Amino acid sequence: MSYSIKTIGVLTSGGDAPGMNAAVRAVTRAAIINNMRVKAIFRGYKGLIDGEVQEFTSQDVSGIIQRGGTILKSARCAEFMTPEGRKKAYETLQREQIDALIVIGGDGTFTGARDLAQEYNIPIIGIPGTIDNDLWGTDCTIGYDTALNTVMECVDKLRDTGTSHERLFLVEVMGRDAGFLTLNAAIAAGAEAAIIPEREAVAEQLKAAVGQGQRKHKNSSIVLVQEHAVEGGAMAVAKVVEEHHPEYSPRVSILGHLQRGGSPSAYDRIIASRLGCAAIQALLDDQRNIMVGIQNGEIAYVPLVKAIKQKKDIKQDEWEALQTLSI
Ligand code: F6P
């Protein structure tokens, strides 16, 4: 074991994601079993700056694996983006005698971690936790599977009313700049189309979506719209449809933050548990400033800088499957 790491800090940051608690539990217990002390940092980087720190025992993470959200709370912290903010955060780490930091979150969380690691001598391990699934170097992120199932269930319900009234439904799905959640939820729910930022012009996607050619015989349609694929989201798409296709009277459903809630799926609990253990193993192996991810079902260690900088693209076969199956 790395002799210098006696105490680790753990925090969750950015948008919460189902399974974060399972990751906190795994990190805590894997650290304790390896004779490390665990200090939980509340409210992400804000709590690190403000010194909101509490030592965790194994019991502190009992009964949380099934809970959505994060018991550590989360926040988006502008102050941490400044060198002054990171200095205060480092002072907390020193005061609390934290030798290594584990951060659970997405792109923004890792960017903050990278900056802190570049300025101060502190090993940091990132665990990918976001419903957006937009981190390079890992096939999936904690929370994505649960959110996918949530969106799918919502679309299934909308399909019932959509079919009854023979309507076009435009369903707005989260994802920040990425279309993974939208595309795969569209496949899973049998939607007619998905409008995502990664693919061709929105006007073209829309044309394909609203009942040309083969689709004309359908009496109802569901189109999933990624929140930032078009300015104004699904509401803006509805306006365009009303203007150019008066035969439709579309209804809009913005799923919003309910996509981030709920008890994590078995899959998310399992990857969160594996990644939490892998994060501690990485520290034991003297690794630093990396993200632990999953590649082809196996644990992978990826430099934090790469996870942030490289862009993960959607799979072409998934995109094609949606087009093929929505005739
Ligand atoms: O990154 C997770 C996410 O839910 C995105 O999908 C979404 O764009 C964003 O967070 C919403 O952030 P907030 O909760 O701060 O409104």
List the domain boundaries for the chain: 7-143+264-309, 146-261
Evaluate: CB of 106 within 6 angstroms of ligand 1: yes
Determine contact, residues 49/88, Cβ cutoff 8 Å.
Answer: yes
CA–CA distance, 149 with 151 (Å, rounded to integer): 5
Q: Any idea which fold 146-261 has?
A: Rossmann fold (3.40.50)
68 alpha carbon – ligand 1 mean position (Å): 15
- Residue 201: predicted pLDDT: 66
Contact yes or no for 137/300 (Cβ under 8 A): yes
Q: What is the pLDDT of residues 213-272, one digit of tens each?
A: 445 566 679 999 999 999 999 999 999 989 988 888 999 999 999 999 999 999 999 999
**Ligand 1 proximity of 109 Cβ (cutoff 6 Å):** no
The pTM of the full predicted model, rounded to 2 decimals, is 0.96
129 in contact with ligand 1, CB cutoff 6 A: no
| Residues acting as catalytic residues | 132
The rounded mean pLDDT for the chain is: 94
Q: In which band, very low, low, confident or very high, does the pLDDT at 309 lie, cut at 50, 70 and 90?
A: very high
Helix axes 202-209, 233-244, angle to 10 degrees: 60
Q: Show the tokens assigned to 250.
A: 């579309």
**CATH number for domain 7-143+264-309, candidates 3.40.30.10, 3.40.50.2000, 3.60.15.10, 3.40.50.450:** 3.40.50.450
- Locate the ligand 1 atom nearest the alpha carbon of residue 106 and give its number: 1
Inform me whether the pLDDT recorded for 203 exceeds 70: no
Same fold, 7-143+264-309 and 146-261: yes
Nearest C-alpha to atom 11 of ligand 1 is from which residue? Answer: 15
